[in-house]
Structure 1
Amino acid sequence: MDMAHRDIRVNGVRLHIAEQGSGPLVLLLHGFPEGWYSWRYQLTALAEAGYRVVAPDQRGYGRSDRPKEVSDYSLPHLVGDVVALIDALGEERAVVVGHDWGAPVAWATALMRPDLVRGVVGLSVPPAPPAMMPPPSVTRKLYGEGYYQVYFQEPGRADAEMAADPVRFLRRLLAGGSGDKPGVDEPGLWMIPEGTTAVDSLPEPETLPGWLTEDAVRFFAREHALHKEHAYTGPLNWYRNIEANQGLMSPFRGRTIDVPGLYMVGTMDLVLAMRGVPELRAALTSIVPDLRGDVTLPGCGHWTQQERPEEVNAALLEFLAGLD
């Protein structure tokens, strides 16, 4: 079954999509700093099971458009892209699956437009309505200036550090967030000590984890490098809207996510080291009343669908079958 690639204009931007299969629509939303390719193991598996599977490069990433203004990357803009994409694909509804940053977009789409969402799946990041993430004004007090989301707030700094050598950056980040790091038995936060850089704060791996190849690292790097020296400005602008998202999403305060949902996370995922996440997880059914599953993947790190494709595919197919 062949995979097709094309560009599609939605919500004022051109998005590149990878598409495979036919049947009920499933949208796969990647996180930072990835792209459609992070779903390479899910596209074919879901398509062969009878679904139309679409994985976009979200705005600012890969072969998609990169709006110039920081404010163009707010959560309502990102949800607007998903809403417009469903329509542009000629569909009325979709199951929306997200990983890392894609998870808040998926959860927020289900929160804001339940009429369009048949079901929602979040990998790694649990739902925290309405804005889905604590703002830098809070995380700065919790973790200090070295917390990666706080560090990313300064325009141009992390952008240049990552773009200087995308292969080096991606090798370090992908390996560092993996669940199979020798001598490490619990997840930790990404902190950037004073006097170092975002890239140098990540150790160079002696070898890549078994699930990650050098070819995959270089593929992501090539896709990012299409934006040259601004390769990471669009993706980092997502973080620079976290504070603004608090106000933009405030009309939805108190709303629950009222579509069937599924949450998956690895025991070695750095997200589990963030304060408040265990409490969020304990309260999942009060946020997503029709929660169909809360799946824990022992030993899995942050890159859920790439590290454990077979287990993720099995959980997704069981969830999708329940909707059908």
Structure 2
Amino acid sequence: MPDEPAVSPLPSGIRSRHLALHDLNLHILESSPEINPRPGSSKPHLIILLHGFPELSFSWRKVMPPLSQAGYYVVAPDHRGIGRTTSVNSPAGQISFDDDLTPFCMLSLVKDVVSIVYALDYDHVTALVGHDFGSLLAGYCALIRPDIFRSVVMMSAPFPGSPTLRIKSSPSHLSLGEMAARLQDQLATLIPPRKHYTMYYSTRDANAHLLRPPQGLRTFFREYYHAKSADWVANSPHPLPSASASALAELPHYYIMLRDQTMPEAVMNVRHLHEGVPAWLTDEELSVYVTEYSRTGFQGGLNWYRCATDAKWSSELEVFSGKRIAVPAMFISGEKDWGTYQSPGVAESMKERVCERMEDEDFVLIEGAGHWVQQEKSDAVVENLLRFLGKVEDSFMKGDQTNPPI
């Protein structure tokens, strides 16, 4: 298996290799400082970057070199079932809908990230950064193992915290999966009838729809990335008054879909030929996503949503009910990203309840960016990450007792 992403060469300073982790041959991109800037430390501090869906480790290509130039060892993996990461049970990289879901549940994904840390011969991570679904994974990593993940940055998807422990079955004690199913029923009563994208992504047919869209895979990727970026003028995100079906219907069709639509149909024709190719995602860069997903399919990433919307898998997280993220936390999103508001009240809860140490200045909405913020406005993302990291490391140097020194 070749080590570099297909078609487009990696930016200078980024290398590609594989790590052997329990049942995985895990692909990572890495970027190291030329000189360890911290005298007395045997190796540079580690940052791990977790991508979302439908993305790859390649999505961090613009962020990695400047972070390593600032003195950090930066690693971005392809998640299980995605890109060039393969399992011993699926060496060709193809994942079937009928495969065991256990490796894709949240606790298994957290185990994957912990395993990366140890495989790199580290015992902690200075900052764990997650985007989109990677934000949810980063949040759980920090919640469950604060001894390893010393700070966390969640991007483009606010972290809701662990689900409430159900003492009894009642409308006020529903699992995440049960709540998703109930919302789906309510959305179906709207005119026209709707459905939630996470429930659609959990269906058997979703992979085939995404892999063989009517407009072709390249055009679908271009339209999907455009629809969720700041380039699409129809994106005008704002807080919603409630989580009712009627309020959620205000979200774009790539979140609250028409009941009979596929995702490729939901974003079809959002771009016009005269709009050209954005500088943040060239045709050459787009080819990396098209080539990798055409080879593996989308089922590996879709399995995340299946576990999140199925009560069998979401209920196991109730063991962490009431537990808060104790390490320093940051949230970054694009100002034009509906992802900040797609779950009403979650962003506010993340700041005020779920995270013990998220300062107001560390809830950042970057102007001129949409959902793909680290690709659309990488310079601003790097600037905010380095500002946050500076504060985190200063607090450790001053003897902050809430975390062991790094």
CA deviations over 1:90-122 (Å, ceiling 9, x no partner)? 001112100000000000000111110111000
CA–CA distance in structure 2, aligned partners of residues 124 and 236 of structure 1: 18
CA–CA distance in structure 1, aligned partners of residues 323 and 61 of structure 2: 34
Secondary structure at 1:31's aligned position in 2? coil
CA–CA distance in structure 2, aligned partners of residues 183 and 126 of structure 1: 22
User: Closer, same or farther in 2 for the Cα pair 1:322/1:245, shift >3 Å?
Assistant: farther
Indicate if the aligned counterparts of 1:30 and 1:99 stay in contact, CA closer than 8 A.
yes
1:284 is aligned to 2:315: no
CA–CA distance in structure 2, aligned partners of residues 77 and 282 of structure 1: 26
How many residues are aligned here?
319
2:302 pairs, out of 223, 236, 255, with 236
Identity across matched positions, percent: 29
Which structure has the bigger radius of gyration? Answer: 2
Amino acid at match of 2:32: G
Residue 40 of structure 1, CA deviation = 0.6
Q: Which moved more, 1:104-113 or 1:164-173?
A: 164-173
Secondary structure at 2:223's aligned position in 1? helix
Instruction: Specify the alignment match of 1:148 in structure 2.
Output: 197
Secondary structure at 2:263's aligned position in 1? coil
Q: Which moved more, 1:86-95 or 1:242-251?
A: 242-251
Instruction: Specify the alignment match of 2:364 in structure 1.
Output: 295
Q: Which moved more, 1:89-98 or 1:7-16?
A: 7-16
Indicate if the aligned counterparts of 1:178 and 1:209 stay in contact, CA closer than 8 A.
no
1:70 is aligned to 2:101: yes
1:91 pairs, out of 109, 122, 125, with 122
Instruction: Specify the alignment match of 2:224 in structure 1.
Output: 173
Instruction: Specify the alignment match of 2:21 in structure 1.
Output: 10
Amino acid at match of 2:301: P
What are structure 2's unaligned runs of at least 5 residues?
Answer: 1-11, 34-43, 87-92, 165-174, 189-193, 239-250, 394-406
CA deviations over 1:192-225 (Å, ceiling 9, x no partner)? 3233322011133113444222222111111222
Residue 52 of structure 1, CA deviation = 0.3
Indicate if the aligned counterparts of 1:121 and 1:261 stay in contact, CA closer than 8 A.
yes
Q: How do 1:1-324 residues align onto structure 2 when only pairs under 5 Å count?
A: 2-22=13-33, 23-65=44-86, 66=93, 68-94=99-125, 95-130=127-162, 134-135=176-177, 136-141=180-185, 143-144=187-188, 146-155=195-204, 157-164=205-212, 165-186=216-237, 188-189=251-252, 190=254, 191-204=256-269, 205-206=271-272, 207=275, 208-227=277-296, 231-242=297-308, 243=310, 244-277=312-345, 279-281=346-348, 283-292=350-359, 293-324=362-393
Q: Which moved more, 1:48-57 or 1:135-144?
A: 135-144
Amino acid at match of 2:128: V
User: Closer, same or farther in 2 for the Cα pair 1:139/1:304, shift >3 Å?
Assistant: farther
Residue 183 of structure 1, CA deviation = 4.8
Residue 148 of structure 1, CA deviation = 1.0
User: Closer, same or farther in 2 for the Cα pair 1:45/1:275, shift >3 Å?
Assistant: same
Indicate if the aligned counterparts of 2:31 and 2:74 stay in contact, CA closer than 8 A.
yes
Residue 141 of structure 1, CA deviation = 4.2
Secondary structure at 2:152's aligned position in 1? strand
User: Closer, same or farther in 2 for the Cα pair 1:108/1:283, shift >3 Å?
Assistant: closer
| TM-score under structure 1 length normalisation | 0.92
| TM-score under structure 2 length normalisation | 0.74
Indicate if the aligned counterparts of 2:161 and 2:350 stay in contact, CA closer than 8 A.
no
User: Closer, same or farther in 2 for the Cα pair 1:186/1:19, shift >3 Å?
Assistant: same
CA–CA distance in structure 2, aligned partners of residues 213 and 121 of structure 1: 27
Secondary structure at 1:15's aligned position in 2? strand
Q: Which moved more, 1:77-86 or 1:163-172?
A: 163-172
What are structure 1's unaligned runs of at least 5 residues?
Answer: none
Residue 142 of structure 1, CA deviation = 5.4
Secondary structure at 2:74's aligned position in 1? strand
CA deviations over 1:119-176 (Å, ceiling 9, x no partner)? 1000011111115995332442454452211111212x11011111431221111011
Indicate if the aligned counterparts of 1:18 and 1:36 stay in contact, CA closer than 8 A.
yes
CA–CA distance in structure 2, aligned partners of residues 148 and 35 of structure 1: 20
